[in-house]
Amino acid sequence: MVEPQLHRVTLPNGLRVVLAPDSAAGRASSGQAPVVGVSVHYDVGFRSEPEGRTGFAHLFEHLMFQGSESLEKLAHFRHVQGSGGTFNGSTHQDYTDYYQVLPSAALERALFLEADRMRAPKITEENLRNQVDVVKEEIRLNVLNRPYGGFPWILLPPVLYSTFANAHNGYGDFTDLEQATVDDCAAFFDTFYAPGNAVLTIVGDIEVEQTIDLVNKHFGDVPTRNVAPRPSFAEPFPAGELRGKHTDPHAPLPAVALGHRLPDPVSELDAYLANVVLAAILSDGDASRLQQRLVYQDALVVDVHAGCGLMGAPLDARDPDTFTLTAIHTPEVELDRVVGAIDEELEKLATDGPSADELSRVTARWAASLYREHDRVVTRTLDLGSAELLHGRAELISELPRLIGEVSAESVASAAKALRPDARAVLEIEPAGDENATGGAA
């Protein structure tokens, strides 16, 4: 994949704009219509929500689809889908994104829609109460009534971290969600949804100067608002092993999650990427170290996974970020035996490093996966936007295959050595006893 040349402008109101023209996005020769991706990333996520308002960032994401200054409720859906497009939004630790992919002829429609809700979303008591109920039902479906719900992204942080920003449940506590007010929403919007706190990304079949004119037309009059300096969420590394336990009424088997702190993905990118390669060597594919040892050789677990990032993908957050190892095992296998086997494999990698074959296999798979994913307009749009917001460099996404390929065996060994047992969290998931096995969540 040849990465398109990026173009940047910043509007007087502070909105940062990244354009990635790509006439091949339409693939007209294969019968597909030319398409364009439009996303807006706001610099606010779970870690920014105030104490007593857990889940508020995600709740506000829902409210942004409930109408705006010029549009009634559900109009955003109708306009995008009526153009033959798709749309969605998602809330992460450090940002919230909104996107749509449409035929390129509908670009101005997408820009109007995003600018209108950046200017003034329709936040009413009716919309708020309705979306609180929607979010609560989402939590029931995805966490409370689901085996291993919230494992590990909700349950591990309170064991590993000590501050509210890093440790609290980003999905939200029902009491906190129910107590949210329209005034809370207005304050949240004023604080975090200013144009100067956002990145607009446009990818695909576009003409640069014409697109810049359209951006100015629709976003240029969005009022400038003050943007407060982003606070640091840094906290000290653990000084010992931290342990926690959670009873899951729906889990058929016990499980364990190990959490380690990662190098800063912004200021220590090379060291961070060594951990990305380490995670792949440990659990990516049947030939990986933990699959071979824990699943096939010793038959200790039925599932094992290693990865960077609590939300399931690396480079999705600023510092602090988390290296996670999870395993589901049978009741007759003791937790400490599973943890001990993981530690032994880490020690082998710390001492001897990975083989040349392991490195080449992992880097080849990573490069192929990145090229495949970024061939999709939606993925490329979102990744460019998040890289610009978090790293200040949207170009990072096209550099990743090379950077991953340059990770050395020595760097992977150093990363494995840093995952020390005396500076981690261990979360045990325990199935409920027979007397609670049929109980449901509220």
Confidence of residue 22 (pLDDT cuts 50, 70, 90): confident
Q: 253 and 362 share a domain?
A: yes
Q: 135 and 258 share a domain?
A: no
Mean pLDDT, residues 196-203: 98
For residue 3, pLDDT beyond 70? no
Q: What is the dihedral of CA 286, 288, 294, 299, to 10 degrees?
A: 20
Q: Are 204 and 26 in contact (CB under 8 A)?
A: yes
The pLDDT value given to residue 29 = 37
User: CA–CA distance from 129 to each of 35, 421, 442 (Å)?
Assistant: 36, 45, 18
Question: How many whole angstroms separate alpha carbon 95 and alpha carbon 409?
Answer: 33
Determine if the peptide bond prior to 158 is cis (ω within 30°): no
Q: 26 and 137 share a domain?
A: yes
Question: How many whole angstroms separate alpha carbon 194 and alpha carbon 364?
Answer: 41
- In Å, the largest CA–CA distance within the chain is 67
Report helix, strand or coil for 82: helix
Q: Are 279 and 286 in contact (CB under 8 A)?
A: no
> How does pLDDT run across 240-297, given as a tens digit for each residue?
999 999 999 999 999 999 999 999 999 999 999 999 999 999 999 999 999 999 999 9
- HEC string of 303-342? EEEEEECCCCCCCCCCCCCEEEEEEEECCCCCHHHHHHHH
Confidence of residue 30 (pLDDT cuts 50, 70, 90): very low
CA angle 183, 186, 188 (to 5 degrees): 110
Mean pLDDT, residues 420-426: 97
Q: 289 and 206 share a domain?
A: no
Q: Are 262 and 325 in contact (CB under 8 A)?
A: no
337's tokens:
């035996």
For residue 330, pLDDT beyond 70? yes
The pLDDT value given to residue 25 = 63
pTM of the model: 0.94
Residue ending a domain, among 204, 219, 234, is 219
Please name which of 439, 187, 420, 435 lies closest in space to residue 323, comparing C-alpha atoms.
Answer: 420
Does 311 map to a domain?
Answer: yes
Does 236 map to a domain?
Answer: no
The pLDDT value given to residue 4 = 64
Q: 137 and 272 share a domain?
A: no
Question: How many whole angstroms separate alpha carbon 282 and alpha carbon 264?
Answer: 21
Count of other CB atoms within 10 angstroms of residue 24: 14
For residue 436, pLDDT beyond 70? no
Confidence of residue 53 (pLDDT cuts 50, 70, 90): very high
Does 33 map to a domain?
Answer: yes
Residue 139: domain span: 7-219
The pLDDT value given to residue 32 = 63
More reliable by pLDDT, 162 or 4:
162
Q: 251 and 155 share a domain?
A: no
CA-only gyration radius of the chain, Å:
23
Q: 212 and 248 share a domain?
A: no
The pLDDT value given to residue 245 = 97
Report helix, strand or coil for 3: coil
Confidence of residue 28 (pLDDT cuts 50, 70, 90): very low
Q: Are 352 and 412 in contact (CB under 8 A)?
A: no
Residue whose tokens read 């074959």 = 357
Does 57 map to a domain?
Answer: yes
Instruction: List the beta bridge partners of residue 102.
Output: 36
The share of the chain scoring above pLDDT 90, in percent, equals 90
Q: Are 46 and 256 in contact (CB under 8 A)?
A: no
Question: How many whole angstroms separate alpha carbon 429 and alpha carbon 417?
Answer: 26
Determine phi and psi for 107, rounding to 5 degrees: -55, -45
Sort residue 315 into left (φ over 0), alpha (ψ -120 to 50) or beta: left
151's tokens:
């494992």
Q: 279 and 325 share a domain?
A: yes
345's tokens:
């494999």
Q: 144 and 248 share a domain?
A: no
Confidence of residue 435 (pLDDT cuts 50, 70, 90): very low
Q: Are 15 and 219 in contact (CB under 8 A)?
A: yes
The pLDDT value given to residue 89 = 97
Question: How many whole angstroms separate alpha carbon 323 and alpha carbon 424?
Answer: 10
Confidence of residue 438 (pLDDT cuts 50, 70, 90): very low
Q: 74 and 170 share a domain?
A: yes
Residue ending a domain, among 155, 187, 219, is 219
- HEC string of 60-127? HHHHCCCCECCECCCHHHHHHHHCCCEEEEEECCCCEEEEEEEEHHHHHHHHHHHHHHHHCECCCHHH
Residue ending a domain, among 167, 188, 219, is 219
Does 299 map to a domain?
Answer: yes
For residue 1, pLDDT beyond 60? no
CATH value at residue 413: 3.30.830.10
Does 233 map to a domain?
Answer: no
Sheet containing strand 242-248, edge to edge, reads 242-248, 425-431, 255-261, 322-329, 301-308
For residue 198, pLDDT beyond 60? yes
Mean pLDDT, residues 46-55: 95
Q: What is the total count of domains within the chain?
A: 2
- Within 8 A by CB and 6+ apart from 389, the residues are 41, 43, 95, 199
Sheet containing strand 7-10, edge to edge, reads 7-10, 16-21, 198-204, 35-42, 96-103, 86-91
The pLDDT value given to residue 300 = 97
185's tokens:
């929403």
Question: How many whole angstroms separate alpha carbon 46 and alpha carbon 28?
Answer: 40
Question: How many whole angstroms separate alpha carbon 96 and alpha carbon 45?
Answer: 6
Does 110 map to a domain?
Answer: yes
> How does pLDDT run across 201-222, given as a tens digit for each residue?
999 999 999 999 999 999 999 9
Question: How many whole angstroms separate alpha carbon 18 and alpha carbon 342?
Answer: 42
Q: 324 and 194 share a domain?
A: no
Does 231 map to a domain?
Answer: no
Q: 208 and 246 share a domain?
A: no
> How does pLDDT run across 85-135, given as a tens digit for each residue?
999 999 999 999 999 999 999 999 999 999 999 999 999 999 999 999 999
